[in-house]
């Protein structure tokens, strides 16, 4: 398939505006500025694009909630706080093709009437932040940013905002709190950001990959996009594959590619020939794991939801038979516990409790009844937290317990690992 | 005290936002970098005064984000090894043990000559090139013992 999101990767100076323009970049912006903003929103709706950050909400619909009042200040925020373990797709775009994101953001801002936008990038991505800052400067110097862009009458300023170590900033209202200089704790919804977002003004928050799809939708048309992959979940998708495969990395493929095709064809199969697949996580650690018998599941929002898991960020983590599910669950839960923002009790107290129990099971100090204790804690966290972070912790652990409960029990009964 | 250059950088950052408070993360980042990797109370108080915030509000922000090291000096080379799932599957435990052995220290410690601090961190978004670590601003990927030894040798 013709690549759209990763097409410039591997080219010399792929991050430079000259390379980007030489490969057709900023043509979509020229075309978009000749259209009415509402037409662009309709095109994005018609394309069927759904948010690539994980929630899968219709991007065009999200944009249409922004009030049309031209006197209101509006903002676009790009969520580049990529932190879901296993996920590294947005970093790929920002490090190697930052102009794709910048162009997507200018078009998106024009569509919703935002004169200012922020890219919220996680603090550890120093390289990516520098690349974006350089790209933004280049875009200003070419007249793609600033006042009266290409004679259209549309003004736009774009800024990079660096995070400094907090997974919760990937939650859109926590991200807004963080830009405003507060501790990044999620806000109560409603009001939704489309009505009261950054500084209380109408705001759209979109993921890096979502915004990077926009230039191609303008250039090739919504029908081109909507015809790729499943009808209700179309378009190109970057899958980030890590773990026990021969060729981990980023793969741009049509939405709905099966896990089998991704792992055994594109990624060259399992890392070690004598260690077959044990399980795989289809969409970052919050997504419940699947088994070898699920390999033919199309990787898209709806097919994975039907399997009780989710596409999430499209981060596929592959685990072979040497993987201990107790240790993996401990690592994953320790992460959620570390990243809990402290706002609500079920998550703040529940995730460290889960981690303590998992730690003692992993280290051979598990007690009879610990599996039931974990299940009870999960039940008391799930659906009772302020934001989805606590649910993510539970979904991950429940996924492991569902398929590998015997491993947990073995650890408790024998004080050692069943696998190694 | 923030240097004149840092204050200039902070003034530029203020221009990005609707209000002064929004520049607090950038101000703390600049202050930490100027101070060799950690924040002092004095610097945070100075930021509070520039941004017209209360000291406790600056502290609340700084204490929330894990990359700010409040009153906690780090070595010239802050080595942060990822220990999350993808790196763990590819041998992060072994990388951490090797690092502790070569540096003669435990995770969380700083060498007595203040050259190295060794930490473990959660996912750094470099999962396809696991195992990996960050040293100051830079990522080092696809690690193995030989690569680590070579990297450490080049850290003067």
* pLDDT tens per residue, range A328-348: 999 999 999 999 999 999 999
User: Model ipTM?
Assistant: 0.97
Contact between chains at A243 and B89 (C-beta distance less than 8 A): yes
State the pLDDT at residue A1: 79
**Option in B22, B29, B139 nearest A162 (CB):** B29
Does B18 contact chain A (CB < 8 Å)? yes
Residues of A in contact with B138 (CB under 8 A): 126-127
Does B86 contact chain A (CB < 8 Å)? yes
Mean pLDDT of chain B: 96
What residues contact A49, with CB distance under 8 A and at least 6 apart? A58, A59, A60, A210, A213, A214, A217, A225, A234, A235
Q: Which of B64, B87, B107 is a domain's end point?
A: B64
Does A247 contact chain B (CB < 8 Å)? no
State the pLDDT at residue A233: 96
Residues of chain A with pLDDT under 70: none
**Is B116 a domain residue?**
yes
> Rounded to 5 degrees, what are φ and ψ at A181?
90, 15
State the pLDDT at residue A209: 98
Residue B40, domain extent? 4-64
Query: Which of the residues A197, A242, A389 would you substitute to probe the B interface, choosing the one with the greatest number of B C-beta atoms within 10 Å?
Result: A242
pTM for the predicted model, two decimal places:
0.97
R_g of chain B computed on alpha carbons: 18
How many Å lie between the alpha carbon of A282 and the closest alpha carbon of chain B?
Answer: 13
C-beta of residue B127 within 8 angstroms of C-beta of residue B86: yes
Rounded CA-CA distance A324/A319 in Å is 9
How many Å lie between the alpha carbon of B89 and the closest alpha carbon of chain A?
Answer: 6
Give the CB-side neighbour count of residue B44, counting CA atoms within 13 A. 19
C-beta of residue A115 within 8 angstroms of C-beta of residue A155: yes
**Option in B29, B90, B128 nearest A249 (CB):** B128
**Is B70 a domain residue?**
no
Mind listing the pLDDT tens digit for each residue in B3-47?
Answer: 999 999 999 999 999 999 999 999 999 999 999 999 999 999 999
What is the number of CB-based contacts under 8 A between chain A and chain B? 140
**Whether B95 and B130 share a structural domain:** yes
Does A319 contact chain B (CB < 8 Å)? yes
**Is B28 a domain residue?**
yes
**Whether B82 and B148 share a structural domain:** yes
How many Å lie between the alpha carbon of B1 and the closest alpha carbon of chain A?
Answer: 21
State the pLDDT at residue A402: 97
**Whether B82 and B140 share a structural domain:** yes
**Whether B123 and B58 share a structural domain:** no
**Option in B17, B22, B128 nearest A240 (CB):** B128
Count Cβ atoms within 10 A of the Cβ of residue A413 and give its class: 0-12 exposed, 13-18 middle, 19 or more buried: exposed
Domain tally, chain B: 2
Does A115 contact chain B (CB < 8 Å)? no
CATH number of the domain residue B39 falls in: 1.10.10
Rounded CA-CA distance A270/A319 in Å is 9
**Is B69 a domain residue?**
no
Does A83 contact chain B (CB < 8 Å)? yes
State the pLDDT at residue B1: 80
Q: Which of B43, B64, B85 is a domain's end point?
A: B64
Q: Is A16 helix (H, G, I), strand (E, B) or coil?
A: coil
Contact between chains at A181 and B83 (C-beta distance less than 8 A): no
**Whether B141 and B104 share a structural domain:** yes
Helix (H) or strand (E) holding A127: helix A126-141
Domain A236-320 has CATH 3.90.700.10: no
Does B112 contact chain A (CB < 8 Å)? no
Architecture of the domain made up of A325-414: Up-down Bundle (1.20)
> Hey, which residues 375-394 in chain A have their CB within 8 Å of chain B?
none
Domain boundaries, chain A: 17-226, 236-320, 325-414
Indicate the pLDDT class of residue B156, thresholds 50, 70 and 90. Answer: confident
Positive or negative, the CA dihedral A300, A306, A312, A318 is: negative
Q: Which of B38, B64, B90 is a domain's end point?
A: B64
**Is B103 a domain residue?**
yes
Domain A17-226 has CATH 3.40.50.11540: yes
State the pLDDT at residue B107: 97
Does B26 contact chain A (CB < 8 Å)? yes
State the pLDDT at residue A420: 76
């Amino acid at each position: 398939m013709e690549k759209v999101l990763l097409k410039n990767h591997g080219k010399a100076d792929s991050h430079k505006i000259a390379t980007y323009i030489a490969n057709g970049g900023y043509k979509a912006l020229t075309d978009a500025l000749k259209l009415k903003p509402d037409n662009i929103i309709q095109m994005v709706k018609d394309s069927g694009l759904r948010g690539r950050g994980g929630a899968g909400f219709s991007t065009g619909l999200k944009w249409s909630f922004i009030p049309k009042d031209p006197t209101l200040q509006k903002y676009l925020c790009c969520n580049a706080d990529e932190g879901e373990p296993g996920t590294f797709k947005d970093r790929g775009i920002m490090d190697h093709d930052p102009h794709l994101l910048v162009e997507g953001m200018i078009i998106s801002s024009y569509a919703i009437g935002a004169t200012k936008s922020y890219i919220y990038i996680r603090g550890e991505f120093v390289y990516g932040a520098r690349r974006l800052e350089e790209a933004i400067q280049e875009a200003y110097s070419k007249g793609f940013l600033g006042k009266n862009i290409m004679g259209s009458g549309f003004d736009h300023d774009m800024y990079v905002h660096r995070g400094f170590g907090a997974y919760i900033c990937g939650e859109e209202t926590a991200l807004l709190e963080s830009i405003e200089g507060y501790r990044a704790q999620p806000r109560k919804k409603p009001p939704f950001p489309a009505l009261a977002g950054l500084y209380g003004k109408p705001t759209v928050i979109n993921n890096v990959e979502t915004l990077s799809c926009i230039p191609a939708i303008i250039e090739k048309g919504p029908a081109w996009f909507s015809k790729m992959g499943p009808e209700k979940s179309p378009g190109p998708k970057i899958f980030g594959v890590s773990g026990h495969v021969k060729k981990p990395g980023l793969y741009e493929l049509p939405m709905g590619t099966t896990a089998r095709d991704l792992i055994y064809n594109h990624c060259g199969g399992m890392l070690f020939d004598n260690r077959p697949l044990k399980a795989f996580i289809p969409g970052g650690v919050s997504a419940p794991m699947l088994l070898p018998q699920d390999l033919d599941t199309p990787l898209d929002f709806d097919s994975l939801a039907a399997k009780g898991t989710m596409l999430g960020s499209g981060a596929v983590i592959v685990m072979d038979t040497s993987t201990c599910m107790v240790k993996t669950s401990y690592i994953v839960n320790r992460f959620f516990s570390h990243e809990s923002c402290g706002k609500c009790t079920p998550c703040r107290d529940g995730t460290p409790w889960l981690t303590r129990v998992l730690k003692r099971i992993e280290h051979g100090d598990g007690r009879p009844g610990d599996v039931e204790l974990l299940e009870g804690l999960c039940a008391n966290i799930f659906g009772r937290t302020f934001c989805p972070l606590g649910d993510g912790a539970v979904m991950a652990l429940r996924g492991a317990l569902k398929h590998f409960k015997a491993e947990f029990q073995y650890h408790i009964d024998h004080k050692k690992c069943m696998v190694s | 005290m923030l240097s004149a250059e840092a204050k200039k950088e902070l003034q530029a950052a203020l221009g990005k936002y609707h209000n002064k408070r929004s520049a607090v993360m950038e101000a703390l980042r600049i202050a930490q970098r100027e101070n060799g990797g950690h924040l002092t109370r004095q610097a945070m108080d100075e930021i509070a005064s520039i941004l017209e915030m209360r000291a406790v509000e600056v502290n609340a922000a700084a204490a929330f984000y894990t990359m700010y090291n409040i009153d906690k000096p780090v070595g010239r080379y802050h080595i942060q090894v990822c220990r999350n799932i993808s790196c763990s599957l590819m041998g992060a435990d072994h990388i951490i043990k090797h690092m502790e052995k070569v540096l003669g220290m435990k995770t969380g410690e700083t060498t007595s000559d203040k050259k190295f601090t060794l930490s473990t961190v959660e996912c750094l978004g470099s999962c396809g090139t696991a195992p990996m670590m960050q040293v100051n601003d830079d990522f080092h990927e696809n690690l193995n013992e030989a690569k680590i030894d070579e990297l450490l040798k080049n850290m003067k």
